[in-house]
Amino acid sequence: MTYGHSISLLTQAVDSVRQSWEGPLRLVLVDNRSETGVKAWADSMGLEYLDPGRNLGFGAAHNLVLRSSVHRFDFHLVLNPDVRFGPEVLRGLATLWPQWDQPGVVTPLIRYPDGCIQYLCKRLPTPFDLLGRRFLPDALKRGLRFCFDRYEFRQADYLKPMEVPVLSGCFMWFDDRLLQALGGFDERFFLYLEDVDFCRRAAEMATNHHRPEFEIVHDYQKASYKSTSALQLHLRSAKAYFDKWGWWFDAGRTRLNRKARYTPLS
């Protein structure tokens, strides 16, 4: 799915997928901004191009593709346009897949372009996890850093496999069995937290894996820290998420967070 991303980023993402997969492949680009230049580029690249005519948001746009792909492929990949990776990633994940017991959503190790790790493995959030990180004064956040570090599993060795409830929506690899069970993203979330909701539902029936044997690069934008409109969308999604699953009292959150498995930093 794209919304105003540059052609250079889109090209890198498409090339990454094509170089990393050898089996049957359906590459679809949903253009939530309906840009003529993007359509021309997609046609030149041999992609399926979908123009919904309006901005559907993240989940609904991906559902256009996922729901028409169910039962047709062994694996599905939800990929941000600002992600790139080497040829070993998708083939490697597919090769290792049979070794895992009931795999749910899987992501590789995610790095910034400068090589630093992005701490995107997370626990299911409390309202404090989301709102405190965004709105508390910096001095107070520093004093409560242990809370936010725990939320992002910073006490874990990200260079070793982890089983965690929440993984990043920038790269979500899962099999057709899971897609059949979950039916796609919850479209109540226009943007933000749809990946958390999807991972949570996956974690109820399977195990979500962080697999650092493979790595990707993500040009992480953190738009809600820069744009008032994006922040409003983030807050709206947070309300929808906690209205759905519970605000302060959420037994499922506690249970799934306790199932996390990781190697502590030495």
In whole angstroms, what separates CA 243 from the centre of its chain? 21
Mean pLDDT, the chain, integer: 93
Residue 53 confidence (pLDDT) above 60: yes
Provide the 3-class DSSP secondary structure of residue 253: helix
Q: What does the pLDDT read at residue 194?
A: 97
What is the pLDDT confidence band of residue 266, given thresholds at 50, 70 and 90?
confident
Superfamily of structural domain 7-258: Spore Coat Polysaccharide Biosynthesis Protein SpsA; Chain A (3.90.550.10)
- Any idea how long the chain is? 266
Q: What does the pLDDT read at residue 151?
A: 94
Which are the contacts of 43, defined by CB distance < 8 A and separation ≥ 6?
A: 49
Q: What does the pLDDT read at residue 226?
A: 55
Q: What does the pLDDT read at residue 131?
A: 87
Looking at per-residue confidence, does 77 or 146 come out higher?
Answer: 77
**Contact between residue 166 and residue 124 where contact means Cβ atoms under 8 Å apart:** yes
What is the pLDDT confidence band of residue 159, given thresholds at 50, 70 and 90?
very high
Give the angle subtended at the CA of 66 by the CAs of 39 and 254, to the nearest 5°: 125
Q: What does the pLDDT read at residue 225?
A: 52
Q: Pick the range with the lowest mean pLDDT from 51-55, 69-73, 143-147, 203-207.
A: 143-147
Q: What does the pLDDT read at residue 222?
A: 54
Q: What does the pLDDT read at residue 224?
A: 47
Mean pLDDT, residues 192-212: 98
CB atoms within 10 A of CB 204: 14
Residue 176 confidence (pLDDT) above 60: yes
Which are the contacts of 172, defined by CB distance < 8 A and separation ≥ 6?
A: 77, 78, 79, 105, 106, 107, 195, 198, 199
The pTM score is: 0.94
Residue 59 confidence (pLDDT) above 90: yes
CA distance 257 to 144: 20
